[in-house]
Amino acid sequence: MKNKKTVIITGGNRGIGLGITKVFLRNNYNVFVGSRTGFSKESHNLNIKSVNHFKIDVRNFNDHVKLAKKAIELTGRLDSYINNAGYSKWVSINNIEEKFLNNILETNLKGVFWGCKAAAKFLNSENPSIINVSSLAGKRGSLNNSAYVASKFGVNGLTQSLAKELGEKNIRVNAVCPVLIATKGLIKALEEEEAPGKKGAIKFIEEFSRINSPLNRMPTSEEVGEMCLYLASDKAKAITGQCINVDCGVLPQ
């Protein structure tokens, strides 16, 4: 166990995070998942016994610290920290209330801040890497989505700033920016009253793909995981401060 690389993935128990977890398990990592709930039904084909799962709230810095210490205690190392936990919700500015705004910013942005802070303290390998799961929404605004968009713009800014700050410690900091991925959480969010898929999330994603994607499809959660794996690897030693789209060409840059 101590000869294998170790990765922490917040929110790695469902949605995009589950896809990332699967990829790192396949590539022989010690995988530590921190989340508020256990593994979902989506993970039925995953060997749960091979994952070290701990209950944490990403909004609490001390939870990140405990998770990092546990990973090092059990494996002797911490190579990569992936801040994935977050959620989507479309709400128009007129309907945004303080409770909702505080929660989405604390989860999507503050949770990443605390994860990065813990990672900066505890990463201890020769090629340490922080990877933040952002969104294409961190690069352009969209209707009725100001709170989520603001949180993801913040993640991208944090990523770029910390790449400069932590470079002297040889810690690389990058973000991945997926577009719409049909997880259960996204489908639920898309079908709410002020969301663009309220008449049917799957139909909306299919139409969005047809119009916007040169590949005529959206990426999968495991394709996001493959990008994270690359950014965590020795092959990416020269890459830091980047917010890389995983979007099937929706926003060419």
Mind telling me the catalytic residues?
A: 148
CA pseudo-torsion sign 114, 117, 122, 127? positive
C-alpha–C-alpha distance, residues 96 and 121, integer Å: 35
Residue keyed to tokens 């070290």? 52
DSSP string, 165-227: HHGGGT-EEEEEEE-----HHHHHHHTSTTSTTTT-HHHHHHHHHHHH-TTSS---HHHHHHH
Using an 8 Å Cβ cutoff, are 186 and 88 in contact? yes
C-alpha–C-alpha distance, residues 154 and 97, integer Å: 19
C-alpha–C-alpha distance, residues 233 and 147, integer Å: 33
**Closest Cα to residue 103, out of 124, 93, 89?**
89
Phi and psi at 9, nearest 5°, equal: -130, 110
